[in-house]
Amino acid sequence: MVPILGKPVREYLIDHLASHGINEIMINVAYHHQRIEEYFDDGSSWGVEIGYSYEGVRDHGDILPMPMGSTGGMRRIQDFSGFFDETTLVLCGDALIDLDITAAIKEYKANCALASIGIYIFESEVLSLVPQRKVCDIGAELFRSWWYRTCHFLCKTGPSIGLTSAKSATIGRCCSVLSRGRLPT
């Protein structure tokens, strides 16, 4: 819920996804789950449908966060609901992007890739390669384990600014470029 110009970064992402016709969004939450769900609710204010997957355990009526990692959480969602039955775009909720998502997905599909690196786009069968009920991260573990498999990957990079451990200069740069309407390429 890092704010930039009075809006959480995740709100910019939801606006961006909606502008590219992506209207089904799953938010994987652990920390600050109540604040996130209270703010975004069902997504109708942005013209999208938002679902939530909680990573944690119940303790006296509250959820104690126990993050599963980027793909561990996705595997959990898939096992429970089958949400990722189509081509899926995965974004980090605290990183701004300025990517033509429509063009990126078109290029990805034209290359018949199973997954893309840089901006994460997956086919549903990718999640069957993720261990069940195990903490697993896309970059640190998943792609490394696939390296020796016969998988067709598309490596695509695009402009993004991660804010997880951003310095004030980075946040200032974000504010500056967002006030002009977009991130620099």
pLDDT of residue 168: 42
Q: Does residue 38 fall inside a structural domain?
A: yes
CA-to-CA dists, residue 83 to 48, 78, 101, 114, angstroms = 15, 6, 20, 17
CATH of the domain at 116: 3.90.550.10
Task: For 64-98, write each residue's pLDDT tens digit.
Answer: 888 888 788 888 888 888 787 888 888 888 888 88
Q: Among candidates 172, 160, 177, 184, which has minimal Cα distance to 13?
A: 160
CA 70, 85, 37: angle at the middle one, nearest 5? Answer: 50
What letter represents residue 10's amino acid? R
Task: For 96-154, write each residue's pLDDT tens digit.
Answer: 888 889 998 998 888 888 778 777 888 887 777 777 888 877 776 666 666 555 555 55
Say if residue 185's pLDDT is above 50: no
For the ranges 15-29, 44-58, 126-140, 159-173, which has the lowest average pLDDT?
Answer: 159-173
Write 58-63 long-range contacts (CB < 8 A, 24+). Answer: 63/33
Q: Which two tokens stand for residue 96?
A: 């701004």
Domains: count for the chain: 1
Answer yes or no: are the C-beta atoms of 125 and 105 closer than 8 Å.
no
Q: Which residues 6+ apart lie within 8 Å of 46 measured at CB?
A: 11, 14, 15, 18, 40
Q: Is the Cα dihedral 96, 167, 41, 123 positive or negative?
A: positive
Q: What 3-state DSSP class applies to 68?
A: coil
Q: Which residues pair with 120 in a beta bridge?
A: 90
Q: Does residue 151 fall inside a structural domain?
A: yes
Say if residue 16's pLDDT is above 90: yes
Residue 124, domain extent: 3-179
